[in-house]
A = this chain, B = another copy of it.
Amino acid sequence: MAAKLKPNPSDHLLILIVVFLIAIDSFVPSTAEFSSSKWYLISTEHWVGPERLGPIFVYCGNEGDIAWFAANTGFVWEIAPQFGAMVLFPEHRYYGESMPFGSGEEAYKNASTLSYLTAEQALADFAVLITELKRNFSAEGCPVVLFGGSYGGMLASWMRLKYPHIAIGALASSAPILQFEDIVPVETFYDLTSNGFKRESISCFNTIKQSWDVIISEGQKNDGLLQLTKTFGFCRTLNNTDDLINWLDSAYSYLAMVNYPYPSEFLMPLPGHPIREVCRKIDSMAGDNILEKIFEGISVYYNYTGKVDCFELDDDPHGMDGWNWQACTEMVMPMSSSQDSSMFPTFDFDLSSYKEECLREFNVEPRPRWITTEFGGHDIKATLQKFGSNIIFSNGLLDPWSGGSVLQNISESIVALVTKEGAHHIDLRASTDEDPEWLVEQRTTEIKLIKSWINDYYRQKRAVFEI
């Protein structure tokens, strides 16, 4: 390694700019933009400041508008006061307002402009943002704790592992970091979703399982698509039955994810125990018309308020479109639907056709082994037993993503918190009067663990924890 830079004078002028650096740097706000930045939400309301080494709570923004996640992550806001913590919600690049290349249209133009939409870039963005922000607040000594749910939880755990100098710990809720390659069975996701319905009602499960054939044979009739369009109340005539099947499939999966014990509005306005409600509708409808039963049931998800006149197939109210690109590059999560235990159409994951779809859609080839190469996953217990610390993997077993998550303690300080009746990152939601006892206990444990990380850090800094 040469001792120092000694550039040789060069004759030729280089006019091209380095897009990579700009793409990262564009995320870094200047001091002046602090209060009005589009790219993150920040609250210093309860922060005890840099002198007292007030903690900084960072939610790792995932695939959607950051305001949406902030509104659905009440836990972080609720506990900030007792920790005297700053709260920071940085948005993931390419989602919400955080568009490189000047606009969403430019950012999503083609595979070249989209190539900076990766988990690694998101982590680097968070790292740069936190570092700059701490400098600007003279808060270099303040401990950072990461939070995240779902893909955001994956980012939180990966960030703690890759950037231990930036964050002292992470609460990774419903983070399926093992949902890659063959680490968990490919049937897991749809089996768990199906179980969520089966546990409510076998007949509900069976009705749904039978409905796919009915839809397909209905679609093959003369005017069948028109008839299906009417039955399900779409605004536009269906082009094929696949669109309808995907629309239903999505709803069932999302219902399993948000199967909370109280009313919520995370993905859609829903009653408490929404699967129970769906099955009640399906089961209680008289007669043999399976499709009418299905419509009654699915309306709980798509039209609980009763205000929807007709349904659009490709709504994206939370700006989650970029996930398809991520799924076509890094986030290849193989999923099959088994004939026996799943209520979904039987489906075997096939990498070749997956690749074809991605080439057609984005002109990009997926890299199914990249995530485990970059972040690990195989033999995670052996790898992390003597490596890393301070991560909570929290999961509710009703959540279909729990199957691809860490459900066992890895070491003394990389721990799994599992609740039998929990759904998708329910622990991160704001507390309610209807919270069951197990949820209150889970959050108490999380607070205790986070406190212990911070106290360890303070002990190391020889500061006293007096907030």
Please report A residues at the B interface, Cβ cutoff 8 Å: 1-10, 13-21, 25, 62-63, 110-112, 114-116, 124, 127-128, 131, 140, 150-151, 161-166, 176, 189, 193, 246, 249-250, 253-254, 314, 320, 323-324, 327-329, 333, 335, 354, 357-358, 360-365, 367, 369, 372-380, 382-390, 400-401, 413, 456, 460-461
Contacts and interface: CB of A to CB of B under 8 A. Distances in A.
Contact of A18 (B115, B124, B413): B115
A335 B2 CA distance: 12
Given A7-B361, A111-B14, A1 B128 contact: no
Contacts of A456: 386
Nearest to A131: B373
B378 A5 contact: no
A320 B1 CA distance: 8
Given A16-B363, A363-B15, A389-B386, A115 B7 contact: no
Given A2-B327, A3-B250, A17-B111, 15 more contacts: A1-B151, A6-B246, A6-B250, A7-B358, A9-B360, A13-B363, A14-B362, A16-B112, A17-B112, A17-B363, A21-B365, A25-B367, A165-B375, A382-B461, A386-B389
A303 B165 CA distance: 46
Contact of A250 (B2, B8, B10, B374): B2
16 contacts: A1-B150, A2-B324, A4-B189, A4-B327, A4-B333, A5-B327, A9-B361, A17-B111, A17-B112, A17-B363, A18-B329, A19-B115, A140-B378, A164-B384, A386-B389, A387-B387
A114 B114 CA distance: 20
Contact of A21 (B131, B364, B380): B364
A35 to B, nearest CB: 23
Contacts of A380: 165
A146 to B, nearest CB: 14
A7 B161 CA distance: 32
A320 B20 contact: no
A15 B364 CA distance: 10
A1 B164 contact: no
Contact of A324 (B3, B6, B387, B389): B6
A324 B374 contact: no
Given A165-B379, A374-B127, A5 B357 contact: yes
Given A21-B115, A363-B14, A164 B387 contact: yes
A15 B109 CA distance: 11
B20 A115 contact: yes
Given A2-B323, A5-B357, A329 B21 contact: yes
A115 B20 CA distance: 7
Nearest to A314: B8
Nearest to A334: B4
Nearest to A313: B8
Nearest to A190: B3
B165 A383 contact: yes
A388 B388 contact: yes
Contacts of A131: 369, 372-373
A165 B378 contact: yes
A354 B7 CA distance: 10
Contacts of A362: 7, 14
A174 to B, nearest CB: 9
Contacts of A19: 112, 115
